[in-house]
Amino acid sequence: MAERLRVVRFPGSNDTVRALEALLAEARAGRLIGVAYVAMYGHGEYAVGFDGETRKTPTFTRGMLHLLDDELSKIISHSLK
């Protein structure tokens, strides 16, 4: 049976370090098996990347990134009301 896609949220974790530490703990425990990211730096700089299973399953990864895009769109729509 195919695995279901589910969004895992870290409630109250708007802090970058806490979010990364939570992901690192999941990876060390063997639950997080891949990561795709966009990282924002100062002065308009950014980095993008993916590794682990996200590199092995690019179609699935693109689907996850679409979900991220949808979530960002909801935030923008809500802020414009």
Q: Which amino acid is at 34?
A: G
pLDDT band, residue 6 (cuts 50/70/90): low
**Largest pairwise CA distance in the chain:** 46
Given a cut of 70, whether residue 1 has pLDDT beyond it is no
- Note the pTM of the prediction, 2 decimals: 0.73
Q: Which has more pLDDT, 15 or 25? A: 25
Mean pLDDT over 56-76 rounds to 94
Domain boundaries, the chain: 16-79
Q: Is 49 in contact with 36 (CB distance < 8 Å)?
A: yes
- pLDDT bin (cut points 50, 70, 90) of residue 40 is confident
pLDDT at 44 over 60: yes
What kind and span of H or E run contains 62?
helix 58-79
